[in-house]
A and B are shown apart, each in its own frame.
Chain A
Amino acid sequence: MPALKGAELPRPPAFQRVLNSVPVAVAIYIAVIYLIVWSAYAGAQNMGYNWQWSRVPQYLYSFTDDGFQLGEIFIGLGATIQLSVLSFALATLIGLGVALLRLSGLVVGKAVAIGFLELIRNIPLLVLLYLFYYVLGPIFGFDRYWASVLTLAVFHSALISEILRAGINAVPKGQWEAASSIGMTTAQTYRYIVLPQSIRFMLPPMTGEVVHLIKSSAIVSVIAVAELTTIGRNIISDTFMSFEIWFTVAVVYMVVTLILSVGVSYLERRYAVDQ
């Protein structure tokens, strides 16, 4: 460090320095986590819960004569991911449609979009699921799986359309004008100029939305669609290991959504380079 000529700045108060230091923060963190885990464990002991962690791995994976096989929990996870991907793709399509309607400047388009948003936003997800499964399902003839996909897609499309709209609006007006000035149509401007640029504004909130969707997909277990939460419930009704299985299921959800968040923040950094 070079010799500095200026006077040193006053330091923050001692109390603040100690509280902000890394060892103190780690200590507080560990203490809180310990308290939570210990009270849960102690509570379970008091009610005489019989912990059987050794029986959990067989639901994660197994070695049979056929070799390594994924257990029921991972099969359930696969179903959850499939359900989520399908719903998310559909939700993005619907969301884009609603966002474009809202941005179209047509009075009718705007009214339809706002009507849709308010309708969906003000119905609880569970009620929406019952509507799709018990009411719309029989009317239009789709099964419980498609009822689940449609429920998740419609519910999340409302939120996604707002994300898309904000992303599209974040592209400066000058970009529209430049595209117009070289004779592009509105559709071409969206496709080649505006949407590619709005992606970086949309990526962070969209990740949040995917995580949200994966978590809310658990709700379809109430109509017994086979996915992670349903399978967790089934295992428990066979084994009565509710503590171990719910902990495991929670951790599996967490790992998946964390991996997703980390992956996308990597993508975001890559996207930022070109801008």
Chain B
Amino acid sequence: MSTAEPIIQATHLDKFYDDFHALKDVNISVRRGEKMVICGPSGSGKSTLIRCFNGLEWHSSGTLTVDGLEVYEGSKDVLKLRQEVGMVFQQFNLFPHLTVLENLTIGPMKVRKLDRAKAEELARHYLDRVHIPEQADKYPIQLSGGQQQRVAIARSLCMESRIMLFDEPTSALDPEMIHEVLEVMAELVDTGKTMVVVTHEMGFARKVADTMVFMEEGRIVEVAPPETFFTNPASARCRTFLDQILAH
């Protein structure tokens, strides 16, 4: 576990979609290098919360600081923020008109302004890291779901951001492909990156998480280290949830 300095700090965060109250007075802080896993039933605000972290959604009130930048709608720092915060999506969201290599190089080239040779070197390095160097010249549609998600992880890694957000990265995958993606994610733990992962994969969570978070109906119900969280959660609701998803 690393230093105690928070890299993400949310204070009294509320978020409304019209009348729907999606986040209710959320207070959370993520330390630099911390691996945090957020779980909870669907509609509990997990995705909304991490999408606020890189400005894909905007909170309605409260303060949110990410990597030293104040996050709010209309902030001039939003592009800078997004460069420092990578995100992996449930539906991969690879660029279908670009090859795997181009998917990885477009960010470094157009956003970080690296030249092509440097960007390709970077891309091949990270394709190696996700164990699919041989797929560089294929198009996303030619890959399996697991491979696509690994490309998406590599795309995010290529931006060399300090924080990585994962929004249910294995929920759209066939069961036999979940493992390969989780393995790649587990290998990232040693890089010292800050990781916030929304997932229902409790085996993975138990293995990598420094902190477990349970959310329900837009509220953070429980924050605990995995040992306590899995064996002796404080709230009854969290216990029921764990029983339900660990039962099968």
Contact = CB atoms under 8 A, between A and B. Distances in A.
Interface of A: 172, 174-175, 177-185, 188, 192-193, 196-197, 274-275
A188 B110 contact: yes
Interface string B68-103: 000000000001101101110101011111000000
Given A174-B89, A175-B95, A177-B93, 20 more contacts: A175-B93, A177-B56, A178-B89, A178-B94, A181-B89, A182-B86, A182-B106, A182-B107, A182-B155, A183-B80, A183-B82, A183-B107, A183-B111, A184-B111, A185-B79, A188-B111, A193-B95, A197-B96, A274-B96, A274-B97
B159 interface: yes
Contacts of A179: 95
A275 B99 CA distance: 11
Contacts of A193: 95
B93 A183 contact: no
Task: Give the interface size bracket for B toward A.
Answer: 20 to 34
**Interface pairs A-B: 7 shortest CB-CB:** A182-B107, A178-B93, A183-B83, A174-B93, A181-B87, A183-B111, A183-B82
B194 interface: no
B141 interface: yes
Nearest to A175: B93
Nearest to A179: B95
B97 A197 contact: yes
B241 interface: no
Contact of A275 (B79, B83, B94, B97): B97
A172 B91 CA distance: 11
Contacts of A184: 107, 110-111
B80 to A, nearest CB: 8
